[in-house]
Amino acid sequence: MDIVVLIKQVPDSTEVKLDPKTGHLLREGIGSIMNPDDRHALEAAVRLKEAQGGKVVALSMGPAQAVDIVSEAIGMGADEGILLSDSAFAGADTWATSSTLGKAIEKIAKYDLVLCGRQAIDGDTAQIGPQVAEYLGLPQVTYACDIEAARDDGTIMVKKRGEGGYEMVQCPLPAVLTVIAEMNRTRYPAIGRLIDACAERAPVQIWNAADIGAKTGEVGLAGSLTHVIRTFAPKGGRRTEMLEGDTGTVVRTLLEKLQEKHLVLPGAQAGAVGQEGKKS
């Protein structure tokens, strides 16, 4: 089975801090890592390849230094790595990111599965996987936590996590899956493969906009459907207000406060509470 795995380089911290004046991400003193969910997607891809044969291609979009995670992916068992890097890709929103990754996958052409992490720990939108599927016109299964080997009828069985349990989904190939950490325990990169990858003996290709046939206006800021007007950190702190009185008074006051904040419908009444404050 031929598999493309989408991997993103992210800051090594789940606590993204912003400069209060500029709204820019504060990256000082924070290293970069492969997005944690993506490690599990890569591990799943390598295990499928080991069981069934085929090829694993690790694909990332980012600045030149993102080559580090592509090399690491090769160390973990990917056969090839591709980094999409071009100043034309700068300022991409999630749609421009997804369609650029989609164009590269179209260029790769031979694949049965596209695996990506559920969510990146910096952007946190979880939009890329579903949007890549939409761009490529492929079926998708999100929150995948187990994958059975491909079947003879050209389908795959995927276990996906839902709110109250699990679902088994049979899905035709090719397909896009977004993977959660429950999928597996990831391996460490093999030292020999990692050394080869870092010594540039491994096949990491760098593709620019022209390489994937992207026209001006289709990628980066120009190809983005959304634009960030302002970035700011949410105000910290909580305010606690104690409501005094008997149960009936407290419930009515609480209801009024929730209605003021539009958290319950205006028609809601404290009618279920009797005059004496006892529930009727």
**Nearest Cα residue to 219 out of 55, 85, 60, 47:** 85
- Which region among 30-38, 105-113, 204-212, 263-271 touches ligand FAD (by CB under 6 A)? 30-38
Indicate the helix (H) or strand (E) that contains 45.
helix 36-52
Closest to ligand FAD by CB, 32 or 119: 119
Residue from 1, 3, 6, 141 binding ligand FAD (CB under 6 A): 6
- Please select the residue that binds ligand FAD; options are 79, 112, 122, 146, rule is CB under 6 A: 122
- In the region spanning residues 33 to 72, those forming contacts with ligand FAD, defined by CB under 6 A, are 35, 37-38, 60-62
Interface stretch with ligand FAD, choices 45-53, 112-120, 237-245, 271-279 (CB under 6 A): 112-120
Q: Are 32 and 10 in contact (CB under 8 A)?
A: yes
For residue 26, give the 3-state DSSP assignment. Answer: coil
Q: Report which of 230, 163, 154, 179 is spatially closest to residue 45, judged by C-alpha positions.
A: 179
For 82, the enclosing helix (H) or strand (E) is strand 80-84
Name residues contacting ligand FAD, limited to 236-275 (CB under 6 A): none
Query: Which of the stretches 87-95, 185-193, 246-254, 268-276 binds ligand FAD when contact is defined by CB under 6 A?
Result: 87-95
Residues 99, 115: contact at Cβ < 8 Å? no
Query: Which of 32, 71, 85, 97 contacts ligand FAD by CB under 6 A?
Result: 97
Listed ranges 85-93, 154-162, 208-216, 253-261: which one lies at the site for ligand FAD (CB under 6 A) = 85-93
Q: Which of 1, 105 has the CB closer to ligand FAD?
A: 105
Q: Considering only residues 75, 129, 189, 223, which one is a binding residue for ligand FAD as defined by CB under 6 A? A: 129
Q: Any contact of residue 93 with ligand FAD (CB under 6 A)?
A: yes
Report the residue from 226, 240, 269, 280 that binds ligand FAD according to the rule CB under 6 A: 226
What is the residue-wise DSSP string for 138-202?
A: --EEEEEEEEPPPPTTSEEEEEEE-SSSEEEEEEESSEEEEE-GGG-PPPPPPHHHHHHHHTT-S
Question: Is there binding between residue 144 and ligand FAD (CB under 6 A)?
Answer: no
Size of the site for ligand FAD (CB under 6 A): 29
Least gap, CB of 109 to ligand FAD (angstroms): 18
- Decide: is 208 part of the binding site for ligand FAD (CB under 6 A): no
Which of residues 1, 4, 7, 147 is near ligand FAD by CB under 6 A?
7
- Contact of 157 with 148, CB cutoff 8 Å: yes
CB 196 → ligand FAD: shortest distance, Å?
Answer: 22
Contact 41, 117 (CB under 8 A): yes
- CA 134, 93, 209: angle at the middle one, nearest 5? 80
Judging by DSSP bridges, how do beta strands 175-179 and 166-172 pair with one another?
unpaired
**DSSP secondary structure code for residue 255 in this structure:** H
Q: Which is nearer to ligand FAD, 98 or 150 (CB)?
A: 98
d(CA 200, CA 124): 31
Q: Contact 54/23 with Cβ under 8 angstroms?
A: no
Query: Where do contacts with ligand FAD occur on this chain (CB under 6 A)?
Result: 6-8, 35, 37-38, 60-62, 91-94, 97, 101, 116-117, 119-120, 122-129, 226, 228
